[in-house]
A and B are shown apart, each in its own frame.
Chain A
Amino acid sequence: MRVVSSRFALAAIAAGLVLGFGAGASASEKGKQLFVKNGCWQCHGFVGQGGVAGPALAPNVMPVEAMSSFVRNSNRAMPPYREAVLPEADLKEIHAYLTSIPKPADPKSIPLLNQ
């Protein structure tokens, strides 16, 4: 498991992931790696910002039980992740990672969003 984790940490660095966190940065390093390893980034973005392929998961993170129930049973655009593929403990780590993502700045304070 350790080997796998560090491999994905390397992959994340290689991918140029500069996860812009503030004080809570280390809240879930492992969760971040699991988010990448399990492919959540593909549809939700590396910081859960969402896009055309999947909705934003952060900073308004759903409670862990609701998230687990959704991820296990989703049967629409999101393919379900059963326990055999994504153990519950790992999903909790992913939840912790999503919770650690800080709120974005107010768009009114971003000049490029007010052009």
Chain B
Amino acid sequence: MARKDARLDVNRRKFLAGAAVAGAATTLTNGAQAASPGAAANKRLPSAVMPTAYQIATETGNLREPTTQITGRPNSDFMVDVIKSLKIDYCYSNPASSFRALHESMINYGSNKMPEFITCMHEESSVAMCHGYFKATGKPQMALMHGTVGLQHACMAVYNAWADRVPIILVGGTDLDAAKRPPGVPTLHSAQDINALVRDFTKWDDQPVSLQHFAQSFVRAYKYAMTPPHGPVMIALDAGVQQEGIKDAKSLYTPKYIAASPPHADPAALREVAKLLVNAQNPVIIADRCARTQAGIDSLVQLAELIQAPVVNRPNRMNFPNTHHLRAGNAASLIRNADVILGLELTDFWATVNGWVDNGDHDGHGINETRMKQDTKLIHINSVELNTKSNLQDFQRFQPVDILMPADAQASLPLLIDFVKSAITSERRTVFEQRGAALRKAYAQARERSRQAAALGWDAGPVSTARLVSEIYGAVKDLDWALVNASNGVSGWQHRLMPMDKHYRWIGGSGAAGLGYGAPASIGAAHGNNSLGRFSVSIQSDGDLMFTPSALWTAAHHNIPLLSVMHNNRGYHQEVMHVQRLSNRRNRVASLGKTMGPIGTSIEGPDVDYASLAKSMGWWSAGPLKDPAELGSVLKKAVQVVQAGEPALIDVWTQPR
């Protein structure tokens, strides 16, 4: 113990002098020996830490790094030029070595603008942020990720985007040359074909082998993503192609992106549909992922008004204002009486016109029953018919329809409207007026029923979902608000109690019902809305947040203003009900253990303190609130915080549904 370490006596000057001698025999390319300093260096170290051959070489001026210096511009600079040509606002990403070359070019050569690097803590969040951003703004964004590990983290979110028909430009780093790639981790993070991981739920993918190939494939990928039906696309980016120097700068070019016009329905078929709609006694329009923009909503309103037909809005998008008297409340009874049903981009036509009861009949497969009359004419304009190849079964059950148009519904509506106009006679106009009057009455009655139902449990604690939604609306109604996410768990109250009159008031859900979407997608949407001057609010469920809590950090770090109000029912409530259902069906008492829901379904004991969680990542937060009377004033404060540009979260203990 008393003995002095001889190494500490060696002063820096002596070290350098000694190292100079050793350095003469030590170069960077000296392989294994260079990596572990020689005995001479060992003796002379001025600190407890051994210098590496690299440090020695640097200090002695003997650094030779012929392989890492490139002359001229690196390929990844040109890649940035290509990316910039598409005016992508953000690159949501968790940093990774497999794309370090592009990363460096983006921030240093590209000035971290268009796209700006947004630091994410999980690739599932990166992709979901792109997902939300697109639905709020109509502009696709990009997510960069490690080829194997990052992409596997991202998979769930890519599937959500696929099922929700949302374009995202996915770029994964990989190192293809097994003889050159660094040993160890970079090999674990490479694969022959990283795109295989997401091939079944992307529209297109490629792995460019040259710089010009990258330019073509990137622009091509963007174009495919943006041609309806929209979808995510994937580009694998070889480390070698990113890193190397530009060889033939003069011949390189960036192909121009020209938006493709969406696939349009056959005019002859549309003419026939127009006749059917005009002459129908009880036509019903059902729209799901139909309106992409306000123009889509306006077209649908025009069509519905022309024939005074009720419109059922499936919740995946905002297609038709719920403030309009033709917005239908009770879809089931309309479908029962309908003689013509026009479906617009329906995810599930079968379940729209048939019912399924989840009971023990038919060996536990439940009951299937039709909801419509036998001779009801079914019409479908659906671009997803053009996506026919996937391992994943998101096409739902098969429903034969009388007229099927594999085409983009929004793009096809204007011509359908023209045909409808010319098919209308004065006799039919009188019928439409009468139908319109009846629907106006039904609309008023439905609104009154909603209010009566919302009043039930109004003062109960935990807070009822109707009260939660009403309080939120009360707090944001004077702002240009956008509801960027709401769990299914709030019983659809947002559609009944929040007047949705613009396309961005509601952007639908995850697509594939994969948890972990809500928090990051709402942050992505808020990011987009912020630049458009809109106020974003999300109704965030507890189970979903626990999949991607680190997304909160990204919002705070990048000052993304979002009001997140929790629908905290302390469980995976769908599963709570499923296990209860099966217990009953099997005549057994559901085992609850220490929780309120059947074992394995609750998020209680300990109760997660979401307010502290959010606060720890830089959010303003409050809660848990259990008494509805407290909600109004806390919401008011939170709105002010968000208006000042920061994210805010309120944890609210709610009723289950």
Contact = CB atoms under 8 A, between A and B. Distances in A.
Interface of A: 11-12, 14-20, 36-37, 39, 41-43, 45-53, 56, 58-59, 75-77, 79-82, 84-85, 104-107, 110, 112-115
A115 B497 CA distance: 9
Contacts, number: 143
B455 A85 contact: no
Contacts of A105: 455, 458
Interface in B440-484: 451-462, 464-467, 470-471, 473-474, 477
B492 A52 contact: yes
Contacts of A52: 488, 491-492, 657
Nearest to A56: B456
Interface in B561-604: 570, 573, 576-577, 580-585, 587-590, 592, 595-598, 604
Given A53-B577, A53-B657, A18 B477 contact: no
B488 A104 contact: no
Q: Do most interface residues of chain A lie in helix, strand or loop, or is the interface mixed?
A: loop
Contacts of A45: 457, 460, 464, 655-657
Given A19-B460, A53-B657, A84-B587, A115 B473 contact: yes
A107 B454 contact: yes
Given A15-B653, A42-B573, A52-B488, 4 more contacts: A15-B570, A15-B604, A49-B655, A58-B456
A114 to B, nearest CB: 8
6 contacts: A16-B624, A52-B488, A56-B453, A79-B585, A81-B584, A82-B584
A37 to B, nearest CB: 7
Nearest to B493: A51
B27 to A, nearest CB: 68
A47 B456 CA distance: 8
Contacts of B596: 11-12, 15, 36, 41
Contacts of A107: 451-452, 454-455
A75 B300 CA distance: 39
A63 to B, nearest CB: 20
B471 A112 contact: yes
A20 B461 contact: yes
Given A15-B462, A45-B655, A39 B451 contact: no
Contacts of B348: none
Given A77-B357, A81-B584, A85-B588, A16 B461 contact: yes
A59 B624 CA distance: 28
B455 A104 contact: yes
A43 B570 CA distance: 15
Contacts of B655: 45-46, 49, 51
B456 A104 contact: yes
Interface of B: 357-361, 367, 451-462, 464-467, 470-471, 473-474, 477, 488, 491-492, 497, 570, 573, 576-577, 580-585, 587-590, 592, 595-598, 604-605, 607, 624, 626-627, 653, 655-657
Contacts of B491: 51-53
Contacts of B358: 77
A82 B589 CA distance: 10
Contact of B456 (A49, A77, A80): A49
Nearest to B498: A115
A43 B587 contact: no
A17 to B, nearest CB: 7
A107 B466 CA distance: 12
Contacts of B585: 79-80
A79 B581 contact: yes
A44 to B, nearest CB: 9
Contacts of B361: 75
Contacts of A50: 453, 456
B454 A11 contact: no
Contact of B359 (A19, A46, A75): A75
B490 to A, nearest CB: 8
Contacts of A20: 459-461
A113 to B, nearest CB: 5
A79 B461 contact: no
Given A52-B491, A76-B359, A43 B577 contact: yes
Name the residue among B367, B596, B605 with the largest chain A CB count within 10 angstroms.
B596
A69 B582 CA distance: 20
Nearest to A75: B359
A115 B472 CA distance: 12
A20 B460 CA distance: 5
A49 B457 contact: yes
Nearest to A18: B461
A65 to B, nearest CB: 21
B457 A16 contact: no
B478 to A, nearest CB: 10
A34 to B, nearest CB: 12
A46 B474 CA distance: 24
A50 B467 CA distance: 13
A98 B653 CA distance: 22
A76 B474 contact: no
Nearest to A37: B592
Contacts of B607: 14
Contact of B474 (A41, A106, A112): A112
A36 to B, nearest CB: 6
A17 B626 CA distance: 8
- List the 4 closest A-B pairs by CB distance, nearest first: A18-B461, A49-B457, A79-B584, A49-B456
Contacts of B588: 85
A81 to B, nearest CB: 6
Contacts of A51: 465, 491, 655-657
Contact of B580 (A39, A76, A112): A39
Contact of A42 (B470, B577, B587): B577
A43 B358 CA distance: 14
B87 to A, nearest CB: 39
Contacts of B459: 20
